[in-house]
Structure 1
């Protein structure tokens, strides 16, 4: 087992970069809602930086804040950094202020507002209110801590005063800071078999943040405000023309140009006469322009000194002041502007100009996305904000007469599909339907909605209906916690570690029915995740949910997480070896095992164990991954080196595919779909490979992700029958050639490598094969420049 891997250090550069990016967005983004979100992000990263500088934040620990137990819900920024804030702390919320106003003055001067509220809920009146909330379900638990005193009330109601007191002793040190009581709600909390990606309230906020696109807003301002004023200015000057209106000369439909390339102007000259009332009408136009400019500043063209409207307005001001100040050159310039206008648009009052302006007015009056967003948001505001939407009927209905009057959208108009796509995110439906609609578009999103189902699975063995509902609410709230950055093989806080959940352990009977339900859900979710997103790894958040189902089903499956290369400690816990053994049993002799040269027999006999950081680890598995990666000892722990080792671990474990296929018999379940999953994975990675990517970091990320997709594809292909495999190889060759010569030449070693191994051959020790070694094994990580970018 290598011992020379240095301990990872906290990357403060990452924190500073996040802070810089947040500041840039908060100051410069055109969308106020985006600026506000960026400002909140800046505040979080500023807190992280302050905590790091003061030394009060222990990054990489399950308890990063001194004196705060691991079970407390922390505010966590991107990357797993605790900000130092506790989510159950913070300013008083409206329901807390309302309750506090009804309480008598505190007996102790140093009592905090939170301690007074927590104490009230422990009194007779507060306990009666909590008991009623448990009975009716009229409460919400958004953060796990908000369910603690509900648990106390339930225990006391069942005669478990001693257990309740033990729980209160655990909570006591933080009752002056955290809210341990629920949020009251007039509607009962009712678990459902359907899920949603977000609530109606979140959707309304997104719709409210929709802004009119700057280019459209600018265009509409020009059409509605400035074009009519420009027409009036032209008309005023045309009144001063003697003879034929100025125009550009044309022959056979083409402009006649002077030797200098400018169009030749024909017709009369302006500023030759001044009709009665002309000067007063000119002054009125100038005043109207200034008034409009105070309210309409999006379009800059009216003020641009080289634009005809601005120039014409300047000449108009001089004419009003003293027409004799105009030079012959000035009058010539006015004549040319008028000629260009008349030639392009037609003369004022002409049918041609009327048609142009009518069409422009029609375009300007078209309802914008912003106006439609306001309409749909107003419809959704009539619904409970913390629930989902049963159907899209309300949002998708054509514009009504009363809505038309208030927003100026013609009745009967359809709602744009783009906005209905936003609304779909709060649609409540079975998970598979939301996946099919594209509302759930990744394994990460699937993981966020899954607790809405798994919380009920975990509560299935609880007989008492009040406790079953409370347990469901607690679990769903717990799964909304963000994961911390952890080192030394530490695990994230588990649901059972919450003191109030631990206090309920005796009342959660893991009956046979609950175990069967958990297994069925595990099978359904695993199948859905693999079939819906075959090209991507099962994300860590989803692995957490699958692990909870595994536990509920009383199974022993070694599901493994993806380890970040920058925090890799150089070793693996025993479950990685267990997962690799499962893969070896399933894949021995398959295309996958031959392509990656998996030492199946060695893995099946490897059985070593070593305690590190209080965890069972496998030094032999770590040594095997290091050797296969060609990562020599003594070279330090660079991110790239770590990545090559971790990729080998993913190859040997198949990153959970083999474990799920073996235990849940998914090869049979998915067999009809496997050729399709192979093709989808391949087409996805080709699309990624053919994208134009300039930044080197983005290139590395693309190669890594496509190599992962390639590995998943090879796994599925190993369970496809030979005729279907040959058909896929033909399709793959044809598709690569369709992408053009440059891509075909670059990707040829990858495709040739698959064809080489499929024909029964093997790569050499360097991962090459075929004539002149053209065929290559495709891996994502490299300790140096990747060969895909050579040449």
Structure 2
């Protein structure tokens, strides 16, 4: 399976590289293809074990790896880089087998340690990968009476001193103050602005207006000057009226012809965006061709050629006016004003220049000085660097999903966790190291493996005995955790909390002293049929919190009155076999006969695990005491989630995989909506179902989705589903996303489409 996926990604990258005409896009695709070649090569020779938390042979789990899409390690160490110019300038001429080893060993000398101390004192350093913090921690430990811990840390790092950068690069990394965050740095936004390109169609239009139209007008004027009598025009019936070209030859005509041809040759070499003027049947091409054939008189032109010149002149004079006429001048004036307007790349360059006054590694304290008079598209790009509360960035649509929220939350979490360290310099180092650690891409893991935790980094582990859990920091962590959960639920009520955000919430919960069984979403194609013990704990809590609610009735939650069976140990972790058995039994009960394969079967089991745990919603509400607040928000959240379901199902597609993905995501959002609706009173629930029915009717989804609405309506009226997930009268159905057969919610043409 893994090998096939990697081959598919390589093929996709190679196709992209071969098909694009954009140089930058081709380079990105080629780099991606190179990474997938490394993955495949490592899998073939056994140096890579995909699915393990230590996938690279002979490499500790704490080393930061390059990870391709899907969690595939390429085998490359992100901290294994050539010396930076600033590093090469350091006097590292001592022992060592590589330049990197010589530099790392120099940092352990008196002069090197002094350099690290000075960087810590002034915070003039950048932690780009977590390894950059290792030797500064050694320096701090030696300076603060912990020589044994420092020596132990050096001993653990020693085998990789010749490969890894273990000290930071010079330069400051400004941190947002307090609870402010930013999505991107000023430097990243500048790079994005300067990479803004003009779309080919727009570039062709501007080139036509600025270059080819003026040349065409001069070409038309040349031939008009050879006309004897009135200029040719089209009559209403179609024939051409007026005089004939090539009858009069002004004295300066040959010189003007030569200059025009020279200007045309220069323009053709410099301007290649537009090709309309080269079309053989265009007026421009016909007149140009005739000009090439006619040196000084009409002897080289046939009667047919002259006829085409007359027709081309009639076409343009009739449509746009004669050269020098008011009509033609007015048209060209309008076109010139359009061509004179600054393009997006030009405006982007102006904004990038305005950003020069701000530190590249920092953010923007305010937008107004930078984005004045800028179009909304470019304002949105610059806003990514704005430092503001998370709530403001959500309102500005900078943070658009739970995944994006998870990328900025570490900026706050890092400061909260660092506050447990008494020394300010060490706290600043820890905060940067934490942020860098959260930028690590997760690995594809099998067999109940878990991602590397920050305390597994040797230099962070060496600091754990020095961390204090201060009451004020715990309170701040709880406040941040509560506000983040409410923000995520309020802003993205249709989406389950992504794994990246779940991990960050877990870090905040640990700091707040609120242990909670937060569970991750598991991919169906790597599920091994087993869950760890926290899934059972989360299901028990869910059963208790949701007892007697609409959610419990709709999904027929078990009570878990019997204590959990003694968990067994599998691969070093406690498993919840009874929970897994319940999930399988529930999945089989509602699973139709079909042949979609083992991935679909896994999906039905995993969906039951999400139902039984509410995928963290009940755990968060109960642990943080959000019942009252949720009752206030629930009607609106449920309505938004239901509306999202209808919008998503209204998007038609003939692609089988995309259609099943749509139904799966819609069912997840439906589950969220039912959860929120459970915190409403019965009249509010009935009103919500009535509005839902109206939305379904307006969207034309009654045939496909009416059974889901009918099933929910009966449960609101205190009804129940049968064991197979239908109502007693057969009109209503429980809406689930995964199935092993044809999904009843899919359009017939999609459901019956052949698999690709």
For Structure 1 versus Structure 2, the TM-score category normalised by the shorter chain is over 0.9
Q: How far 1:184 sits from its partner (Å)?
A: 1.7
Which residue, out of 656, 671, 675, partners 2:635?
Answer: 675
Residue 467 of structure 2 corresponds to residue 492 of structure 1 = no
SS at match of 1:775: coil
CA distance in 2 between partners of 1:28 and 1:453 (Å): 43
Matched, 1:146 2:132: yes
- Of 70, 89, 93, which residue of structure 1 is paired with 2:61? 70
SS in 2 for 1:616: strand
Residues 1:745 and 2:720 aligned together: no
Deviations 1:689-732 (A, max 9, x none): 11132321111111111110000000000001222222212211
- In 2, Cα distance between equivalents of 1:103 and 1:503: 26
Select 2:113's aligned residue among 120, 127, 137. 127
The runs of 5 or more residues in structure 1 that have no matched partner are 1-9, 251-255, 257-262, 398-413
Match of 2:498 among 499, 518, 539: 539
Matched with 2:219 is: 233
Instruction: Report 1:85-100 matches (<5 A).
Output: 85-99=76-90
Which of these residues, 262, 285, 290, is aligned with residue 287 of structure 1?
262
1:409-488, aligned counterparts within 5 Å? 414-488=373-447
Shift of 1:673: 1.7
Equivalence for 2:696: 736
Q: Which moved more, 1:490-499 or 1:318-327?
A: 318-327
Shift of 1:284: 2.1
Does structure 1 conserve the Cα–Cα contact (< 8 Å) formed by 2:249 and 2:297? no
Match of 1:692 in 2: 652
TM-fit CA distance, 1:602 = 3.5
Aligned to 2:186: 200
Q: Give the match for residue 584 of structure 2.
A: 626
Distance 1:508 1:635, change over 3 A: farther
Corresponding residue for 1:43? 34
Partner of 2:180, secondary structure, is coil
Partner of 1:259: none
1:292-324 deviation line (CA, Å, top 9, x unaligned): 111111111222211111011111222226622
Verify: 1:103 aligned to 2:92, yes or no: yes
Quick one: distance in 2 between partners of 1:498 and 1:605? 37
Q: 1:156 aligned to 142, 146, 151, which one?
A: 142
1:410 maps to none
Per mean C-alpha deviation after superposition, the further-off stretch among 362-371 and 333-342 is 333-342
Select 1:595's aligned residue among 554, 559, 568: 554
Cα distance between partner residues in 2 of 1:11 and 1:566: 10
Q: Which residue of 1 aligns with 2:202?
A: 216
How much is the aligned-residue C-alpha RMSD, in angstroms?
Answer: 1.9
TM-score by length of 2: 0.95
Q: 1:305 to 1:604 in 2, by over 3 A?
A: farther
Contact 1:89 1:179 in 2 (8 A): yes
Query: How far off is 1:186 after superposition?
Result: 5.2
Unaligned runs of 5+ in 2: 749-756
**Pairwise CA distance, 1:383:** 1.9
Q: In 2, are the aligned partners of 1:45 and 1:77 still within 8 Å (CA)?
A: yes
In the alignment, does 2:601 pair up with 1:615? Answer: no
**Secondary structure of the structure 1 residue equivalent to 2:74:** strand
Whether the 8 Å contact between 1:31 and 1:211 is mirrored in structure 2 is: no
- Is the contact made by 1:138 and 1:189 (CA closer than 8 Å) also made in structure 2? no
Q: 2:731 aligns with which of 754, 774, 785?
A: 774
Q: Which residue of 2 aligns with 1:5?
A: none
Preserved contact between residue 580 and residue 603 of structure 1 (Cα < 8 Å): no
- Tell me which residue corresponds to 2:307: 332
Q: Secondary structure of the equivalent of 2:714?
A: helix
Distance (Å, rounded) in 2 between the aligned partners of 1:383 and 1:60: 43
Query: Against the structure 1 CA distance between its residues 83 and 731, is the aligned structure 2 distance closer, same or farther, given a 3 Å change threshold?
Result: same
1:756 aligns with: 714
Bigger mean CA deviation after superposition, 191-200 or 318-327: 318-327
Q: Which residue of 1 aligns with 2:753?
A: none
Among 268, 271, 294, the alignment partner of 1:296 is 271
SS of corresponding position for 2:384: helix
Q: For residues 624 and 690 of structure 1, what CA distance do their matches in structure 2 show? A: 34
The aligned counterpart of 1:577 is: 536
Q: Is the 8 A contact 1:661 1:667 kept in 2?
A: yes
2:743 corresponds to: 786
- C-alpha displacement of 1:40: 2.6
Are the counterparts in 1 of residues 131 and 167 from structure 2 also a CA contact under 8 Å? yes
Contact 1:47 / 1:84 at 8 angstroms: preserved in 2? yes
Give TM-score, length-normalised by structure 1: 0.91
- Using the TM superposition, name which of 649-658 and 610-619 deviates more: 610-619
* 2: CA distance, partners of 1:464 / 1:370: 47
Separation in 2 of the partners of 1:670 and 1:87?
Answer: 43
CA distance in 2, matches of 1:219, 1:186: 45
Q: Which residue of structure 2 lines up, in the alignment, with residue 391 of structure 1?
A: 366
Q: State the SS of the aligned residue for 1:789.
A: coil
| 3-state SS, counterpart of residue 47 of structure 1 | helix
Q: Which fold has the larger relative contact order, with Cα–Cα distance below 8 Å and residues 6 or more apart in sequence? A: 1
Aligned CA distance change for structure 1 residues 630 and 321 (closer, same or farther; 3 Å):
farther
Q: CA deviation at 1:753?
A: 1.6
Q: Tell me, what secondary structure is at the counterpart of 1:84?
A: strand
1: CA distance, partners of 2:381 / 2:714: 47
Q: Is the 8 A contact 2:686 2:713 kept in 1?
A: no
SS at match of 1:768: coil
Q: Deviations over 1:413-439 (max 9, x none)?
A: x11111010011111111111111111
Cα 1:40–1:646 change in 2 (3 A) is same
* Residue 191 of structure 1, CA deviation: 6.1
Taking the aligned partners of 2:546 and 2:301, their CA distance within structure 1 comes to 91
Whole-angstrom CA distance in 1 between matches of 2:606 and 2:367: 45
CA distance in 1 between partners of 2:135 and 2:501 (Å): 30
Distance 1:444 1:604, change over 3 A: farther
Which residue in 1 is equivalent to 2:677?
717
Contact 2:35 2:74 in 1 (8 A): yes
> Aligned partners of 2:498 and 2:720: how far apart in 1?
31
Paired positions, count: 746
DSSP 3-state at the match of 1:272: coil
Tell me the alpha carbon deviations over residues 536-587 of structure 1, each in whole angstroms, 9 at most, x when there is no partner: 0100000110111111122221000000001001011111111111110011
Give 2:100's aligned residue: 114
